[in-house]
Structure formats: C-alpha cells, structure tokens
A and B are shown apart, each in its own frame.
Chain A
C-alpha cells in the first residue's frame, strides 16, 4: 500500500490553529480554505483534531466536517472530544470516515472494542500522545499532552490494538509543531510490531524528515505546521518520496 500523506488540521472552531507542543496557539485562518488547498494538492486523507473538545458547542468541529464533506472527496478523520459511542455516531453522520479516540480510550479502554463492534475496526483510530522521558522511555498523555497517565506509551499502543483499534496515530507531543523531525525512536518501537496501520505525527519539518519516518515502515504521516507554513506542498512531498523510492498515490 502507498504511504498515506495526511494533512492535519488542528481546530479551535471556527478557526484553524497551530501551536508548538500543543501550546501557544495561533489562529491561521479558515479551515475550509486550507482543507480545499490540501485536497487539491493531493492529500490522501484529512485529519481534523478538535483541540478544545467542543463537540456539541454552538460552533463545533462537526459543522466544519459537515461542510468539508461537501468539497473534499478523500477520507476524513475526526479526533478530539470523542468520548462515547454516540459521539462517534455524530462524527460519522457529519461525514467523517474514521474517528480518533485518545483520552476516552485511556479512561475506559472498553470503548475501543465497543466502537469497533458497532462501526467496524476500520473506523476506530486510537491516538497515542507520547512524551519522551529522561530514562529514554515514552509516557502516554491525554488532553493534547497536558495530562499525565502514568502509562508506558508503547505498551498502551500495543494494548489498544489488542482491544480492537483499527489504526494507531502516534503523536510525539514534544516534537509537535517544532518542525524538527519525527521522534524516530518512538515510532520505530511500534511500527512493524502491530498488524494495523500506523500513522506518524509530530515534528515533520522537511521532505527529508518524512522520508526518514517512512523508511520505518509506517503506513501514513500526519503533517500540520510544515504544510500550513508552506515548507513544502503535498505535491512536492510526494515527488520527493517517489524519488526516494517510497510509493505514494499519484
């Protein structure tokens, strides 16, 4: 399968925002304009992350997803604030193809299996937010890297797959928004060890960074800041990946 290039949109409805390590959020503009641009550049998927978990607020990420689905004809994934089976249903009804669960899955791991049973494993992504510790291990966090869980990130990722996750989104909180490259050691510890797709996120700054993480055998890369700040276009990235011998959708 080709490497999926996923454009990640961090949303504080109604705006697209971006921070560094999920902090110091700047408003970048209207999500629809960015989404359309990435679709036209050849994104294989769009990922909407609600960074304030405001699913049912008056101005909600679901409104944005609903209107995106009218213009964007590639798969859409929604994460942030998905806590229950009803939340998943609401996201799918709005036009999402998949949902990403993190905080709620850590609080109540059975949610993963329940969701997989009802909607199919193909639409249940479990997000693992990790921060590298001084001892060289990684701990799992929730709430955009704010809350400590005490769980070992790698162990939690493997367990999530056993519980029915159809895909893993591995986020390195300490690289997120820095554009300093992926945390390759963290990704390498999980990619290739699970039989579901693995998406790497956090730190993409250059085409070279993406090539390096792709060589670890991940199935997808989620990129936000580097695209928003135009370090490269998705077209340029795919050309670079192809030149490096990595298969992408053209």
Chain B
C-alpha cells in the first residue's frame, strides 16, 4: 500500500510546496478540509503561512478543531509546519490573544527583538533541545547542526521543557525550532524548503507513519 499523506487545506495557502515534497518522495497526497478526512487520515500535515488568528478562523470555519484534537489525542502522526506548528499550541499573542488547538501545552510569542532582524528569514542550524529529544521524530536521522529554512516572527514557547524538541541559534537567542508531544510534532522551519536534508526529514516521517 502506498503511503498516504493528508494535508489540511484551511485557506492558509502554500500547501503546494509541502505536497510537492511528499509527491517527490513517492507518497500519495490528499488535500482535505473536512472532519471526515481528518478522521480517516493515516498521517496528517498541517502546513500554513500567515497570521495565527486567520489560521484558527480557517480551521473553525471548517469544523476541524475538535477532529484535530481527537486525532492527536489518539496518538496518530501529525506534523505542523511553520504556522501549522504554532496552531498546535494553546494560545498566541499575535495581534491580540487567540486560542490555539492546545495539543501542545504552551504559547506562541514574539521573537525577542534585541540584536536580530524580525521577521527571521533564512537558514539556521538546528539541534535537539536535550540529548535524544528528537530521536523518535521525523528529525531522528537529521545530524545536529543541519541548516533549515525559517520564515517567522513568532515562536512556540512550550510550558514544559519536555515538549521542546529542537532549537536554533538566532543571534544571541535560542529560538524554538520544533515542539512535540507524543506523535504530534510542530516544526517552525520549512522542511519542504530546506534542501536535501529537509526532504530526508519528510522521508523519515513516512517511515514512522507507515512502518513496512
């Protein structure tokens, strides 16, 4: 059986680069915007660019918030990318307060501005937050220090270090590169724009979600 990735289409654009990456890896890709397709999914990807409030509004309009929570609570594989990673958190301070999916405990906060350019756009090296923190995730085969591509002004701030998966050094600050809880992982960078190493992360995700 071919591995099938379900990408949530909630109006937050830029689904195609993620879809293209999975297609390149030989997976089947389904675009989904209904609760039924979330329930049916074997491996969900929540991509997205744009503002947090808009993103949550898009999920709410399609009735996807509770299905996504239930999906994650069942321990099924879920990958959030960029805004999709931030939506996994409980709450964001981007343009006022907005409630998130609350799958990963913690908040979304502005990157400390001191001495760095915001938005943070560009390549940054990622490392596990603690030894072994990413060993059973899509980053398992990624060498620490791998360069990945970021475009963001806000970052996930988990309420407990156990949910912090990977970090990147940006100026004087360690910023969050990935959060995780169980089979849910949120990556702030774009694996689908991070060259060969990024593709290899998505290949690892396929291996985890569809063990042979």
Contact indicator per residue, chain A 206-250, by CB within 8 Å of chain B (1) or not (0): 000000000000010000000000000000000000000000011
Give min CB distance, A127 to chain B, whole Å: 17
Give min CB distance, B107 to chain A, whole Å: 21
CB of A74 within 8 A of chain B?
yes
CB of B122 within 8 A of chain A?
yes
Select from chain A the residue with minimum beta-carbon distance to B199: A73
Q: Cβ of B21: which chain A residues have Cβ within 8 Å of it?
A: 73
Give min CB distance, B153 to chain A, whole Å: 9
Q: How far is the CA of A92 from the CA of B15 in the complex (A)?
A: 11
Q: Which of B23, B117, B123 contacts A2 (CB 8 A)?
A: B123
Q: How far is the CA of A250 from the CA of B49 in the complex (A)?
A: 26
Q: Is B194's CB under 8 angstroms from A122's CB?
A: no
Q: Cβ of A166: which chain B residues have Cβ within 8 Å of it?
A: 119, 121
Q: How far is the CA of A74 from the CA of B49 in the complex (A)?
A: 16
Q: Cβ of A109: which chain B residues have Cβ within 8 Å of it?
A: none
On A, residues with C-beta under 8 Å from B are 1-2, 4, 39, 42, 44, 69-71, 73-75, 92, 95, 97, 120-122, 166-167, 195-197, 219, 249-250
A-B contact pairs, 27 of them (CB 8 A): A1-B122, A1-B123, A1-B124, A2-B122, A2-B123, A4-B122, A39-B195, A44-B123, A69-B17, A73-B17, A73-B24, A73-B192, A73-B193, A73-B194, A73-B199, A74-B149, A74-B194, A74-B195, A92-B13, A92-B14, A95-B17, A97-B151, A120-B119, A121-B119, A122-B151, A196-B117, A249-B147
| A-B pairs with lowest CB-CB distance, top 3 | A249-B147, A122-B121, A1-B122
